Amino acid sequence: MEKIFNLSDKIRFDCSPDLPCFTKCCGDVNIVLTPYDVIRMKNALGISSEDFLERYAIILYKEKKLLPMVLLKMREEDKRCPFITEDGCRIYADRPWACRMFPLESLRGKRYRLITNEEFCLGLKSDREWKLSHWIMTQGVNEYDYMNEDFFEILDGLKEIEKDIQDTNPKIQDMLFMSLYNIDKFRRFVNSTTFFQRFKVDRHKAKKIMESDIELFKFAIDWIKFWLFGKPTLKLRSKR
């Protein structure tokens, strides 16, 4: 039977350039990117979110879906990650959530399972033993889980809205995608419209929002919850 791990369980795993399978897991794989993944990766590369999406992402739209799926684009010549080198990942500190979790995948209720085996990943034969909660912490997964929590809440909310969709509204699609994934374009949009005149945002917070991708992303989340789901995450200014 497939083993299901809890945070208190132990796992044997290690990864190093000494292993013959080093970086084998970095090719011919579908890596779904969250908005926080894109923010971390585009900043690590020193490019805009627009450039990142154009050069390194595949955007998959589906009928009656308000938000497309964003995948990391593999290199055409060898189907490997565009950031992998002989020495490993060149943006390792800012690698996506899915890469941090390997060789595990997350299930509901803080449970996990292996997505590979010892034949493919020799690191599973290691003598190094981890308590799973400690291993997850060392991989920086907790920070990503925290930043992704509201995003996944929005995805769940969109599923409810999509049940009643007859024809997808492209304007809503574009606005959602920009707000979540194209953070630099969203910043220009906020700066060129009456956002801060319509909503109660003090000057200090507005300045932080415009200067920080993370604060802007949090603001985008609040706005989407207010706009699409009618939640009181933002307050409108009184009309004079």
DSSP 27-75: BS---BPPHHHHHHHHHHHT--HHHHHHHHEEEE--TT-SS-EEEEPPP
**Contact call for residues 73 and 82 (beta carbons, < 8 A):** yes
Reduced to 3 states (helix: H, G, I; strand: E, B; else coil), residue 201 is coil
As beta bridge partners, residue 196 has none
The predicted pLDDT at position 108 comes to 87
The predicted pLDDT at position 162 comes to 87
Contacts of 166 (CB under 8 A, 6+ apart): none
Contacts of 42 (CB under 8 A, 6+ apart): 48, 49, 51, 52
Please indicate, yes or no, whether the overall pTM of this predicted structure exceeds 0.85. Answer: yes
Phi, psi (deg, nearest 5) at residue 87: -90, 0
Q: Is the dihedral of CA 84, 89, 93, 99 positive or negative?
A: positive
Contacts of 7 (CB under 8 A, 6+ apart): 110, 131, 132, 133, 136
| pLDDT tens series, the chain, 240 aa | 678 999 999 999 999 999 999 999 999 899 999 999 999 999 999 999 999 999 999 999 988 899 999 999 999 999 999 999 989 999 999 999 999 999 999 998 899 999 999 999 999 999 999 999 999 999 999 999 999 999 999 999 999 888 887 777 888 899 999 999 999 999 999 999 888 889 999 999 999 999 999 999 999 999 999 999 999 999 998 875
Q: Give the amino acid at 142.
A: N
Q: Which two tokens stand for residue 117?
A: 């085996």
